[in-house]
Structure 1
Amino acid sequence: MSKDGKVTALAAVALLLSSLSLGGCATSTAGSSLMDARAETPAPPKTSVYLPVEDLPPKREKPAMTADERSKLQKELIAARDRQASGGKAKGGAAPPQSIKP
């Protein structure tokens, strides 16, 4: 065999071995197409646990508390605080801290 024949035979053997080894890496597409693979993937969930950042709650038709309700609640809280303060003094507890009114 000549030198060129040996090189050609060696190249043919190398080509055959590389094609066989790369053939093992290929996936079989018999009976399916790339579009079928996409159709088989599960759909992403439609709803999320968290609200999207850009979604804002709708505007309220009326305020949460009217001015009358707010003043009534404030008076009730002040009265409850005063009752607690007087109860602590009667039992000999420490003096309550002075409240700072705005």
Structure 2
Amino acid sequence: MLLVALALGGCSTSIAEMPIGSTSSDARPNDPGAYLPVNELPPAREEAAMDPAERAKVQKELIDARERQASAAKGQAQGKDQGKDQNQTQNQQAQATK
């Protein structure tokens, strides 16, 4: 039973393309479409994508955002380290009192 299902599954694409009893005008074309040209470059732009002043502004904003994230991550890491230090100090004090 499993072999029959696998055999029929392999033939599904050829069966789907066969006209079954009707010749309607809404049949799918056999050609799926043309491929995009590989070696053809896009046309040159008429105007620059970004002027130098706008580019410098965006770069500055990205650098500022990176620094904010780095400082926030460092603050979180220090908070975790301080929590670990407090836990270690409490554990040492508990062991000393035993």
- TM-score, with normalisation over the residues of structure 2? 0.41
Structure with the bigger RCO (C-alpha within 8 Å, sep 6+) is: 1
- Structure number with larger C-alpha Rg: 1
